[in-house]
Structure 1
Amino acid sequence: MTGLVLTPREEFEARVDLGGMLPGMADLAKHKIGYGGSTVELGELFDVSGSANGRLTIEGGGRLDRVGARLVEGEIVVKGDVGHSLGSRMTGGAIVVDGSAGDFTAAEISGGKVAVAGSVGAHLGAAGDGSRRGMSGGVVVVAGSAGRRACERLRGGVVVVGGDVAEEAATDLIAGSLAVAGKLGANAGRGMKRGTLFLRSADGLASGFHDAGDHDLVMLRVLVRRSPELAAFLGKDVTKARRYAGDLNIAGKGEALIVSR
């Protein structure tokens, strides 16, 4: 399943805006894209090969912004790094990046899956500029670390980070799940109303979280069956976790579950 393949003609001298460039588009080489402060045809920057079948591969990354923005279906694979707003507001399909990504990765998505082999910048799965709604559905997996305010105003979906997460993660989180395998930055979960954090340590939680002790939670096995991404984080046989309730400073009903491996 090769699909369409984009190969950069040369190193980019300016930012490339690939928003609106989706798998299956006809006459892709003639599609207008932003390049610095101008508009050019995609074929001026990329060699286009293969045939449209729902898969789009970009051979080499770099200064590529808004890759997969508003993706509805199909798959986009990037062999390199990308810039800001990867997959923003996508509703379906899949995006795979074998490098790192910039700020606002998976911002406001409501479906589909985003997988990043490296790290991401600030505002992972969060609300975009001027918006009050973060990610509401879908799955995001980041093998590396994430910048500040990851999952701010999250409203649904599953986010798994294999490395560390910087300060103020899960601020004003309303629903959904964030799992962090590494260290948690300061003031995480401030203003959290509902939802669940899966952590290895309580260090970094906001002051409004209260230690509710150890619990035997059968529902963890249910989550493992429903989500392979959480299964990889939690392990197949986990039922025990230390629970922290919060953010109690705003009468929140969220929780942070500390799960060891």
Structure 2
Amino acid sequence: MHDSTDLVRGRLGGFLIAAVAFGFAPNAAMAQMLTAASAIGTFTIAFDREPFALMWGGTLSAPGVFHSHFFDTTASNYLSQSGAALLATGGSQEHPALSLRHEITPTGLNPAGQAASRYVQATSADFSVDADTLAGTGHLGLTGVQKISVGTGIWAGSSLVYGDYALRYDPSARQSIWNANGVTAIANGWFLENHIYSIVAGVYDFANLSLVVGDADNWQMRGDLLISPENAYMLTGVAKVEDVGDFCLGVGSYAGCAAAPVPVLGAFVLFGTGLAGLMLKLKKNS
């Protein structure tokens, strides 16, 4: 994890460092394009409690914002579970958010017959990651929906959901959004894009990436999640970039990898930051 001030000042931004610089031989597989053609894979998130708890004037004992429910692939069934149904399910009690597992969707067209306000994305056939530079093409679709609740302030008792993600790489677009919000750092370009409720916008950006490669169809990427300044402004009144958790994207034999920082030898590490905003849909609980 890294102090948000360092992130905003760009001290971690935009440096690609090969592990060979630390005396380790680079993995021979690093020169290839990685894919998710098998559609076997997971994107697992572990959120830090403290950054959310302190939002809206909250404290660690009386959190301002907290995780209240996660709907996995089965529970968030896009054919039967509308956005409103998910908002109304699961209550608004705090629960740990240490292993929220989203699953990769198959390639092809977006699923038909989705319930109201649901927009699960198919993985694009051209999705790939350059193992040498960590640049990407296309997008990964992900199942799963998270519900967050507000415990303090004028929105106390309200909840919001986000999910039906697409995982994308677009450094130019991310940097433009970053600059427009007055953050002077370098976006690395990877982010999660919300689609539930047809609100298409970034919600988390990635930083401090590491990559482990078995072969083109078996690999993992892990790193930090940053909340966007727009979302931070909505929740705190201050537009800032802040590290709020960790993730692990595991494809093929790496599916199910845990979202915890693990030192990796012989892998490339990309240090960088990014942002984009999502004004998430709020619903006042009755």
TM-score range, shorter chain: under 0.3
Which of 1 and 2 has higher RCO (CA within 8 Å, sep 6+)? Answer: 2
Larger Rg: 1
TM-score (structure 1 length as normaliser): 0.25
Structure with the higher helix share, 1 or 2: 2
**TM-score (ref. length: structure 2):** 0.23
